[in-house]
Structure 1
Amino acid sequence: MATPLPLLRAARSPPYICARCSLKRRIASNYARRLFHHGSSRQTRQESAPATRESRNSLVEILEQRGYINQIAGGRDELAKILAQKRTAAYVGIDPTAASLHVGHLMPFMALFWLYIHGFHAISLVGGATASVGDPTGRLESREQQDKSFQERNMRRMYEQVDRLWGNVEALAKKHGHQEHGWRRNLLNNKTWLDGLTLMHFLQTMAPNFRLGAMLSRDTVKNKMEKGDGMSFAEFTYPLLQAWDWWHMYQHHNVQLQIGGSDQFGNIVTGIDAVNYASKSSSDRPASSDPKTPIGFTVPLLLSSSGVKFGKSTGNAIWLDESMTSVFDLYGFLVGSADADVERYLKLLTFVPLESIRAAMQEHDKDRSKRVAQHLLAREFVELVHGEAAAEKASNEHRLFSQRKTTVASLQAGAAESTKKDSETTDQKDAPETTHLAAAEILEQPLARAFVVAGLVKSRSEGETLIKQGGAYVGMRTQKNDLEVTGVTEQDEITFVSAQKLDRTVSKDILVDGKMLILRSGKWKVRALIVDGEV
């Protein structure tokens, strides 16, 4: 009986395939399988992500629309090309000259965060080594030399702070519809390579490219030498050390893009020249025959509505460390943003989509007294810095606080409660609303000192500055004629008067009921000093 054809085919021996061809087939099969799954997951991600107008723009357009790009070192077309390819890394550096970042420091980091959630390898660099030198850019006086242990503490705290920021960035990005795909980041410390760098290696690799004439002609050098306290050799070489950071990361992390504050344009240009020179002449240059051209851009300064820079040198720093600026105070600072500024701050300091920002501004314009846009800004920014739970708590506390009127009765109740807490301190972070003290400690004393005692400022000079700038107020009982005008029925309510209009010495005349000095800093921080004993 003849064997059926299918069985004959099954019974035949499989054709011989050599090992090399078999390997090629397996590689091709695995590649096709990965390509299929990658394409499927990408399609799923695209379908699940919100199809906003912003998501359809190029990355350079997104950065421009949100206001991040100030000056470009290398040209916009080249920047747009690099951002479209997404095959490189970008970095932002910060020297830990203080124990914390402040709000202004976040500007270049926000641009880096946006690159990261769009697929770029993002590197945040803590300048553990360069902090001991100090960047002289924009300064007329040299930084005070810090103790080594103090520098190490600052470096450790800032390193931890930046690390926490990255976790919150990822949570917020997902909240606003950005799906994790190939997110890659590093947190580096330049001590790891600068501490081991020899002078000879540095001079041989980079120094031949720099001419003294060009370095001496920089505005930072000229201003410090002509108008300041002179420039040390260490300060003079700071741009070269920053350039070496870039060169090291260019070699080991493929860093092609640097982002800096508006005062860093000169240092970025110096870095570009140094990397270009070293990549062509150094024996340590990458093996690639087609080295990538370094490029950079700066972000604009973050300014208050009065045009003052948010920075620790201007006396109005808002710190990101909770022990230096409490979560409640940070939220309140942002809620106090001017109507003219809040839309710009939402674009610069949050991940809220532009369409949602426009909708929030339209809602805000219906009744500006509700400060809808300001609360959105504060909630999103506090969530970025301190996390969702802290933002929720601060939001609830501020909404309750805004509904509560400051009255003599409420402050007296706070005074009674504070007497139960014998061990409580009156530092700026956790100062109770009331503080008890003897009459001799406050009467006939400078009003600026009273703000220090109340925990509203850290020093008498800071108190004097607050008064001169119009940010200090003293509370008085609302007068009868004011009650008739405002429609208030309780004379117990407090009216705040600018401290600029009062004597600079504390007298009995400004004590409420002869016992209580009520002080306010800005729009929302209220404290009361209770005078014990005879006045």
Structure 2
Amino acid sequence: MTRIYKKYIINSFKRVYSTFFEKNEEKIDLINELKARGLIEVMSSGLESKKKILTDQVSVYMGVDPTAASLHIGNLVTLLSLFHFYLRGHNCYSIVGGGTSRIGDPSGRTKQRKALKLDFISENALKIENQLNSFFKNGLIYALKRGYKASNVGKYYIMNNLEWYDGFLLFDFLKIVGSNIRVGEMLARESVKNRLNSDQGISYAEFTYQLLQAYDFYYLNQNYNVSIQIGGNDQWGNIVAGIELINKINNLKSEEGNSVSAVQPYGVTVPLLLKKNGEKFSKSIGDTIWLNSDMTTPYQLYQFFIQSSDEIVEKYLRIFTLLPLDTISEIIEQHFDSPDKRYAQHKLAEEVVMLIHGQEEMEKSKMATQLLFSDKERNKLEISHIFEMFSNKKDIITLNKEKVIGKTVPEVIKESGVLTQINKLLQGGGIYTIKEKITSPFIQITEDWLMEGKVLIFKLGKKRHIVINVI
């Protein structure tokens, strides 16, 4: 063997070994990465002590019930945790609850959900499946821009649990699931205890929801070797129910001398995203921030994150972006040199919109923000920009011309129905047109206030704009 050929083999081995080692180290360090980003609240003790199982490719899943037509930013926390597994080479399953949503999860709820029509659930399920598919595609494009390698990613799968519940007989369900879970354990779940102690109580259907989620985990574990379930922190009881079901059935098989091929199950929860009043972001509370651009425009998503407080912006950068942690530290350091410039908030908004909607929509949202909030750029604002930015119905109000021209600002804003305490805001100097502050409640609106004779924009306080479409 020649010296050159021998050297080539040694170097090739080093490259292969080095690549293998780096990839495995990335997988092992994933738990530490998720912890550092604030994406783990609780996890199975076994996963912490045996995290080297991540050296090999594992299968992980999260579930979401299609009780609305879109995911929201609360779901995004769980989805991003799953996405980190995907970027490290693992198999990721997103399960849309076309079956479980017919019952409704009582976790974190003070009263029973209203029953949903089957057509409504089916339509939502299809929309969310498409949304998840778009997220993984857009997310990968974003991840590649942030230094991740396409060669390292795993595979993602989107499934509907109606696939295994459709035609599943009640007798079979009771035999497989009901006989292996104790009522005492079910009653001990936090979501059940809270409802039992409330005036609302809990229905039998809601009480058994945890059995359905447990069976989801069991089914995926047996058929697709799924070993880790990720969910919001309020899902911990349901996740544990699944782990216990899998272990119980496997133990019985082992005692009977049957082979047990399923992988060991583990659970991970992510922190709940809470509003200032302590409520979690959900689909049933007003002012939800959706990931669907028809329900919350990219501009509105951008504005939501720009309005993040200094106290929370670093946390959000760690959770919602793929920026390296040391880069985030540098951003925060630069931010606090001049906090009034809101440098960190702008970076956060740019990254999140790019992740969800792509580079082009991020650039549009950034430009729109500059046009509306910068005196230097405002003269470039066009009507086409405005209707694109404010596609949400509550931000664009159509009024006849006679209800606008010659009327005072309070009269027009009251007519639009967006604000009742107009005088208080006006006295505090909190109402602006696109050009100037409104200082008197008696100023009448004239034709020259309208952009291109059609549109009137008011800024209410520091954060909100409304658009009056004059016809």
Q: TM-score range by the shorter chain?
A: 0.7 to 0.9
Partner residue, 1:354: 325
Equivalences for residues 13-412 of structure 1 within 5 A: 40=15, 43=18, 58-75=29-46, 77-78=48-49, 80-83=51-54, 85-179=55-149, 180-181=151-152, 183-281=154-252, 289=260, 291-304=262-275, 307-404=278-375
Contact in 1 for aligned 2:397/2:469 (Cα 8 Å) = no
1:157 partner amino acid: K
Match of 1:90, SS state, is strand
Contact kept? 1:475, 1:518, Cα under 8 Å: no
Contact 1:91 1:258 (8 Å CA) reproduced: yes
Alignment-derived partner of residue 4 in structure 2 = none
Which position in structure 1 is the counterpart of 2:466? 527
- Describe the shift of the 1:519–1:181 C-alpha distance in structure 2 as closer, same or farther (beyond 3 A): same
Tell me, yes or no, if structure 1 residue 510 matches structure 2 residue 466. Answer: no
In 1, distance between residues paired with 2:259 and 2:461?
57
The 1-side partners of 2:134 and 2:468 are apart by: 37
Structure 1 unaligned blocks of 5 or more: 1-32, 453-462, 479-491, 497-508
Cα distance change on mapping 1:494 and 1:521 into 2, 3 Å:
closer
> Partners in 2 of 1:390 and 1:523 — Cα distance?
23
In 1: Cα distance, 2:193 partner to 2:416 partner? 42
1:251–1:286 Cα contact (<8 Å) kept: no
Q: Are residues 289 and 527 of structure 1, via their aligned partners in 2, closer, same or farther at CA, if it must alter by over 3 Å?
A: closer
- Residues 1:287 and 1:320: Cα distance change in structure 2 (over 3 Å): farther
TM-score (norm 1): 0.72
Note the aligned Cα RMSD (angstroms): 4.2
Shift of 1:395: 1.8
Which structure's CA Rg is the greater one?
Answer: 1
**For residues 148-182 of structure 1, what are the alpha-carbon distances to aligned partners after superposition, in whole Å with 9 as ceiling and x for unaligned?**
21111111111100110001221122222221225
Q: How big is each residue's C-alpha offset from its partner over 1:199-240, in whole Å with a ceiling of 9 and x where there is no partner?
A: 122111121122223322333223323424332222111111
- Give the aligned residue type for 1:353: P
Q: How far apart in 2 are the matches of 1:185 and 1:135?
A: 25
Q: Secondary structure at the match of 1:366?
A: coil
Q: Residue 295 and residue 107 in structure 1: after superposition, are their counterparts in 2 closer, same or farther (change >3 A)?
A: same
Q: CA deviation at 1:398?
A: 1.7
**Residues 518, 118 of structure 1: CA spacing in aligned structure 2 closer, same or farther, 3 A cutoff?**
closer
1:475 deviates by 1.4
Conserved? CA contact 2:190–2:237, under 8 Å: no
Matched, 1:494 2:464: no
Given residue 441 of structure 2, which amino acid in structure 1 is its aligned partner? I
**Higher mean C-alpha displacement, 359-368 vs 438-447:** 438-447
Does the 8 Å CA contact 2:95/2:161 hold for their aligned counterparts?
yes
Deviation at 1:339, TM superposition (A): 1.3
- In 2: Cα distance, 1:34 partner to 1:182 partner: 27
Q: Quick one: distance in 2 between partners of 1:340 and 1:362?
A: 13
Partner of 1:25: none
Q: Does 1:428 align with 2:392?
A: yes
**Deviation readout 1:2-47 (Å, 9 max, x if unpaired):** xxxxxxxxxxxxxxxxxxxxxxxxxxxxxxx999979646747999
Unaligned runs of 5+ in 2: 1-7, 450-455
- State the AA in 2 paired with 1:105: N
